[in-house]
């Protein structure tokens, strides 16, 4: 069964400012604190992102969708060497104006590779939420 979690953040920048940081799929290492390096192979939908964490773990992604009209960026994690029993990871980042404010959201959906107790699933979910919150705040930090 797929797990879906979502985090939102009221951004200090304008929609276009945040979207310009996301839309090319580059510079993840500048706004997501635990990513040490991130290289893009190709461009646009189908491009590959090869990231390495600050602990030397690999995260290999494919950019699945870039929708400039809705400011939506979707990627899939093809493989990773992190110590998390997760697979089929799809991330969706979106920037929009709601009630006159810029709101950034990040949704991640995934499956577990093994059966886990609810307490362990909760720890993984909280880890994802923390990472997502840091990333959305990191985008704002680049605008300062």
For residue 128, give the 3-state DSSP assignment.
helix
- Decide if 68 contacts 23 (C-beta within 8 A): yes
Per-residue pLDDT tens for 51-96?
Answer: 999 999 999 999 999 999 999 999 999 999 999 999 999 999 999 9
pLDDT of residue 94: 98
- Tell me the CATH architecture of domain 3-143: 2-Layer Sandwich (3.30)
Report how far residue 76's alpha carbon sits from residue 106's, in angstroms, rounded to the nearest whole number: 13
Q: Is the pLDDT of residue 144 over 90?
A: no
Per-residue pLDDT tens for 86-141?
Answer: 999 999 999 999 999 999 999 999 999 999 999 999 999 999 999 999 999 999 99
Strands laid side by side in the 35-41 sheet: 3-11, 101-112, 86-98, 72-80, 58-67, 48-53, 35-41
Q: Is the pLDDT of residue 6 over 90?
A: yes
Confidence of residue 1 (pLDDT cuts 50, 70, 90): confident
């Amino acid at each position: 069964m797929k797990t879906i979690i979502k985090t939102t953040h009221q951004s200090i920048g304008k929609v276009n400012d945040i979207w310009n940081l996301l839309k090319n799929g580059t510079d993840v290492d500048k706004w997501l604190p635990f990513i040490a390096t991130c290289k893009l192979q190709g461009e646009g939908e189908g491009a590959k992102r090869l990231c390495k964490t600050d602990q030397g773990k690999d995260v290999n992604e494919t950019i699945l969708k870039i929708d400039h009209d809705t400011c939506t960026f979707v990627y899939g994690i093809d493989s990773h060497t992190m110590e998390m029993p997760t697979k089929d990871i799809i991330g969706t980042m979106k920037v929009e104006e709601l009630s006159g404010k810029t709101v950034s959201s990040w949704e991640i959906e995934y499956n577990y590779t093994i059966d886990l107790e609810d307490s362990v699933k909760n720890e993984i979910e909280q880890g994802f939420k923390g990472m997502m919150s840091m990333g959305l705040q990191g985008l704002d930090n680049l605008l300062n």
